[in-house]
Amino acid sequence: MDSECSDIIEIIKTKVIINNYIYVFQKQVGDGLRYTCVQRKKYYCKGSVTINLSKSKILKFQKHSHNPDSAEAEVCRALNAMKENIINNFDIPSKAYAKEVTKLTDVAACLMQMKIMRIRNNSYPTISSKEFVLESNWTMTAEPNQQKFLFYDNRSINSRIIIFASQDCLEILSQSDHVFMDGTFLSCPKGFYQVYVLHVIYKMKPLSVVYALLPKKTQTVYVELLMTLKDTCSSVNSFSIDFELAVIKAIEEVFEDSVSIHLCYYHLSQSMSLLYDIFSYDNDVDDILTYFDVTYVNGPYKLINNTQVMCFKRRPSMFAPYMWNVHNATKLALQMMNSISSMEILKLNTGIQINCKIKSNEERLKNICKTTQLKTNTEIISFLKNVSYIIR
């Protein structure tokens, strides 16, 4: 059994919770019951646990490819407690809900609300994007300083795009030289594929300035989005985005050579770490290295037809090194995408307001040097590691 695994097993019907990892029953294996991670599809996680038939002892444990989610575990426990109180104690549903929600952390409480809303919304018939009607009061910002909020609606039957942005946010966007872009599926309404958000740094804080409801993740859709915002983005000279080829090609088509593209190094590291966890056998390491070289560095070979000699020619990699290496981004003092976009997407998905001032690399380096001076026994390796974290 893995040393990271706890001996505490929480049984919740067909699920078990161990160390804030949630597992769902898969099948009986010999004298044990096998449970697999509920995040198996989302994170390609191979985490699993096998317990004895009496559900009191762990027989086998397979490591996860992601961190535990304490908020998700809290919600799972709370939902089960609500059901038991309603069935056993005949509690009124609203009373059972209030009783359990007060025990939750802020993040878990927001997650609980979202789960209940999702259950309620799933009971309604699906409305396609072409049938979706925006009433006038939803096209404006709140009082007292009401502004137009609906920026664009193509009203397309097959590929509807709706863009929201206030006049103030558009003004801020027009003055920004660097834009962060990222999408989320968690808070996307029915009838659309994703919510795509544009963020900027305003007064040393991240600020979401544009929200777009998109029907697909294709180059055509992203081109229409960027063409609509092109005049507003006249001051923009660089974009930070995720590793999405359709977005890269759309930016290149709309802005041509007038802007630079910076891909999120954190997401690249996360992706490679996930691949290593999945193919962590000696004979698979070469395949991972080949994949990295072909996709992110030198590119694949293409066979050139020649009747006399078989020739191969290198094709450009899908994501060129100049896009994702952190040398230029660090020299230009660009903020890390994961610290900006992730923060704003978290606020959108959970409804929790996060007030966090962005520290410059210079400020972080000063703090590290100050800490190092106070701790005379700090090793040079430790110091260099800390410096590497603030670089990227």
The neighbour count for residue 13, using CB atoms within 10 Å, is 9
Q: What is the pLDDT at residue 4?
A: 46
pLDDT-based confidence at residue 343 (cuts at 50, 70, 90): low
Encode pLDDT of 49-93 as tens digits.
Answer: 999 998 889 999 888 888 898 989 999 998 888 888 878 777 677
Strand pairing class (162-164; 311-314): unpaired
Encode pLDDT of 155-198 as tens digits.
Answer: 888 889 999 999 999 999 999 999 999 988 887 887 889 999 99
When comparing pLDDT for 303 and 2, which is higher?
303
- The DSSP letter of residue 148 is B
**What gap in Å lies between CA 105 and CA 58, rounded to an integer?**
29
Check pLDDT > 60 for residue 360. no
Nearest to 256 by CA among 227, 228, 232: 227
Encode pLDDT of 1-35 as tens digits.
Answer: 444 445 688 888 889 999 999 999 999 988 899 99
Share of residues in the chain with pLDDT > 90 (%): 28
**What gap in Å lies between CA 208 and CA 224, rounded to an integer?**
20
Low-confidence winner among 97-101, 131-135, 270-274, 281-285 (lowest mean pLDDT): 281-285
Q: What is the pLDDT at residue 104?
A: 87
Q: What is the pLDDT at residue 1?
A: 42
Q: What is the pLDDT at residue 30?
A: 87
Look at the domain 136-264 and name its fold: Nucleotidyltransferase; domain 5 (3.30.420)
Q: What is the pLDDT at residue 146?
A: 85
Q: What is the pLDDT at residue 109?
A: 84
Q: What is the pLDDT at residue 231?
A: 93
SS3 state at 205: strand
Q: What is the pLDDT at residue 189?
A: 82
**What gap in Å lies between CA 41 and CA 44, rounded to an integer?**
5
**What gap in Å lies between CA 105 and CA 125, rounded to an integer?**
32
Average pLDDT, the chain: 81
Q: What is the pLDDT at residue 197?
A: 93
What number does CATH give the domain 10-68? 2.20.25.240
Q: What is the pLDDT at residue 303?
A: 80
